[in-house]
Structure 1
Amino acid sequence: MRRKASELNTTLARITTWWRQRAKAKWIEEGDANSNFFHSFASACKRGNRILEVQKPNGDRSDDPALIQEEFMKFFMLKWEERQIVCDSWPNFHSEDMIPDQVNEILEAEITLKPVLGSIFSEEQGAFVSRRSISNHGLIVQEMLSKFQFSAKKSGMMALKIDMETPWIYVKVVFDKDVPCRHICSFSVRSSSPKPLDRGGGGQLGVQVINNVERISHLLYADDILIFAEASRSNAICIMKLLGDYCDWTRQRINGGKSAVLFSRSCPNWKKLLIAKLMGYRKVNSMEYLGLPLVLRRLKAEDFDKTIRNAHQKTNIWGKKHLSLAGRALLIRTSLLSIPMYLMTYTSVPRGILHSIEKLGITFLWQKDSNSRGMHYVEWKELCQPRDHGGLGFHGLDNWQGPLHARLAWQVISNPNLLLHKVLKAKYGMEQWNDTQVYRASTTWKVIHDGAKALKEIIRWNIGDGQSIDVLQDCWILNRRIDTWPTFVNVNELENVRVNWLLDESARWNEERVTDCFGNVMAERVMAIATNGNEGIDTP
């Protein structure tokens, strides 16, 4: 009997695994994979992914499975065919182009370049390099678009979105005995130089966001390519030559139909038409980079129509009649509310969009079928409470933007060597802790400022000169703000007072003031805190 029961359990587990693999759904919980709804979902997923017919190069359509397979084989064999590269236009190598000796020793000892990629590739290359994330590129490009929006430069600027027909490369290396391997490697290093792209005629490509900050000429993240330059015919020709050389070296091709060029507001219309025609790219007023909308105005609800459509499609595909209340709650919590999470992290999503998605979740939870509206028995705010507090564990989207931005803010604040940190510090002074309004603030600055406000409640300050730290509302004694303590602190005297008021001219504690404001017991703890750290700068 036990053996039969074991066989039954093993068979049921295999069936559950088979249905899970067939549906390719990760949100399902243990025990739900053999439900009627899940079987319907898996079958619908398979039908949606099935290819019924293909169109041949001559325009004819075919639904024969054998011909469909043949067309797919031809397509990918063409993509991965062996190609002959052109080396005639390779640059001449000089001694200064060679990689350092210590790096060359690593190359000779190991095949992997991972230990030295950070020093070889500039920060404009974000993918495949350790400790570099997509967040920096997403925020930098939005800061660049703010420059495009508000710059009054009459010559104008342009941003090129390059789409490659084949984002992968098949490489067959044949080493020439007359060209040392060290020089071949140094070529790849030189092509990713941290300096802006050189025009070769004394000028430079790239756009300078603010004075005293290096130009940003390009952003590369995997196959997402953006190139920035001043809008001029000579720069357009230079960019086309650089791209042409790259395509000759790698045998890749640029998809001119999908590539686009975006110009700044101040650029004259005649110049926009001239450059777009010269390069053969579409002239657009908006584009996407890493899934983020890039526009030359304030973001509106219409820029997030794709997000709303995705949410609608999910609720329609699920099919309400197959689900219990617990099943609908599971899908809302794990799938529906996560749709705008990426955009909420890296840009400012209008509250109307977030409320629309929450409204879809409410309707999906309580509406029994398409013909009845359904009664909302519990308020959405209550459903967003944890389960042990009587809720369903939903997260309110509006309350999540601050914590999501806080991670980015801390990353920028704690890494002064980041290009994004240098740009924001030069442009805004890194006064993200203050509530003062910034004139013509970019979306990037709004994200960092919002994240800093969320961080302010939980970080503890190290005192430098005390000018940035509020005595009552910032955390600098132990791990709590003073205005939340049940203490006998003289609140009236310390209202809107900075910590520097409690310091003397040498940035040491003024014992008399500290004792008058905090009393003897608290004053001892305050004066035990070190001051004038980090060269007199307040740091979190």
Structure 2
Amino acid sequence: MVFSKNVHEDVKVNIMAMWGGSNTQQFEKYLGLPPMVGRSKQRVFADIKQKLWQKIQMWKGNLLSQGGKEILLKAVAMSIPTYAMSYFLLPKTLCHEMEMMMARFWWGNQAQERKIHWVGWQKLSVYKFRGGLGFKNLYDFNISLLAKQVWRLLTNCDSLLYKIFKARYFPKSSLFEAKIGFNSSYLWKGIHSALPLLKAGCVRRVGNGVETNLFKDHWIPGIQPSVLLGEMVGHPQENLQV
């Protein structure tokens, strides 16, 4: 639990005794993740960048082939931020800095660390069957991991996390219609940023049709609601006959 400075010590003790929690500071870690994210996102997630830098420094002293570098970057380096990316949206600048660290390791060698980057990281991130090397774009990978959290919320409405988000951010609407809102948590902002990605690939199962909106929900595969609405408006007489 994180308390404000205005909370008296006796009140803290009573609350922690009631809920069985322990007091922590803002920038401490709980299960490897920050319990609170303040304004300085770079400071909160700086340890991820530090761990990645330490790993790369350990590898620089070894004679590695390009294949060995590829395996290390994909299997070890890119797995370091994965746990945090599953819950938080990391800043784009932080993702770019980590990508540049991996790119310098990929193009460098023992004799000369900084060498010319003949191909940009964006092209290296393309799938192999399209001419790239299959490295991950960290920011896009971050969004995809958060989309998995959105899917869990959609498919598990009885979970405590869904009930909390439902009561706080979308009490009178569905998850796809939820807004960021005022003074929302950083966790919710990350989940909300992944909503468009999941919404673009989801099709609503109509069922009994009670909770299906004809002109807002994507319920026909391959046809967006806006296209369907345009057809209805453009041909009202035909639709009336149907």
Q: TM-score range by the shorter chain?
A: 0.7 to 0.9
**Corresponding residue of 1:413:** 154
Q: Does residue 67 of structure 2 align to residue 343 of structure 1?
A: no
> Is the contact between residue 432 and residue 449 of structure 1 (CA under 8 Å) also seen in structure 2?
no
Note if contact 2:169-2:178 (Cα within 8 Å) is conserved in structure 1.
no
Taking a change above 3 Å as real, the CA distance of residues 339 and 515 of structure 1, as seen in their structure-2 partners, is farther
- Matching of residues 37-436 of structure 1 within 5 Å: 156=7, 233=10, 236=13, 261-262=23-24, 284-295=25-36, 297-319=38-60, 322-369=63-110, 371-429=112-170, 431-434=174-177, 436=179
Question: Which structure: larger Rg?
Answer: 1
Instruction: Note the C-alpha offset of 1:452.
Output: 2.5
- 3-state DSSP of counterpart to 1:289: coil
2:108–2:115 contact (8 Å) kept in structure 1: yes
Distance 1:405 1:449 in 2: 9
Measured in 1, the distance between the counterparts of 2:139 and 2:62 equals 30
| 8 A Cα contact 2:73 2:102, kept in partner | yes
Whether contact under 8 Å (2:169, 2:179) holds in the other structure is: no
**In structure 1, C-alpha distance between the alignment counterparts of 2:15 and 2:212, rounded to whole Å:** 51
- 1:459 pairs with 2:202: yes
Distance 1:493 1:237 in 2: 61
The amino acid across from 2:161 in the alignment is: L
Between the two proteins, the alignment pairs up a number of residues equal to 237
Over the matched positions of the two proteins, sequence identity in percent amounts to 25
User: How far did 1:239 drift?
Assistant: 5.1
| TM-score computed with the length of structure 2 as normaliser | 0.80
Q: Which of 165, 178, 182 pairs up with 1:439?
A: 182
- Give, in whole Å, the separation in 2 of the partners of 1:443 and 1:469: 31
Q: Distance in 2 between matches of 1:514 and 1:401?
A: 47
Gaps of 5+ in 2: none
Structure with greater helix percent: 2
CA 440–235 in structure 1, closer or farther in 2 if over 3 Å, else same = closer
Q: TM-score, normalised by structure 1?
A: 0.39
Work out the CA distance in 1 between the residues paired with 2:77 and 2:112.
22
Q: Distance in 1 between matches of 2:97 and 2:68?
A: 21
Shift, 1:401, TM fit: 1.7
Distance 1:514 1:371, change over 3 A: farther
- Using CA pairs below 8 Å that are at least 6 residues apart, which structure has the higher relative contact order? 2
* Cα 1:451/1:377, change in 2 over 3 Å: same
Cα deviation, residue 330, structure 1? 1.8
Distance across 1 between alignment mates of 2:232 and 2:15: 64
Say which structure is richer in strand. Answer: 1
Displacement of 1:482: 3.2
**Are the structure 2 counterparts of residues 382 and 484 from structure 1 closer, same or farther at C-alpha, using a change threshold of 3 Å?**
farther
Tell me by how many angstroms 1:302 deviates. Answer: 1.4
CA distance in 2, matches of 1:295, 1:468: 40
Shift in CA distance, 423/324, structure 1 to aligned 2, threshold 3 Å = same
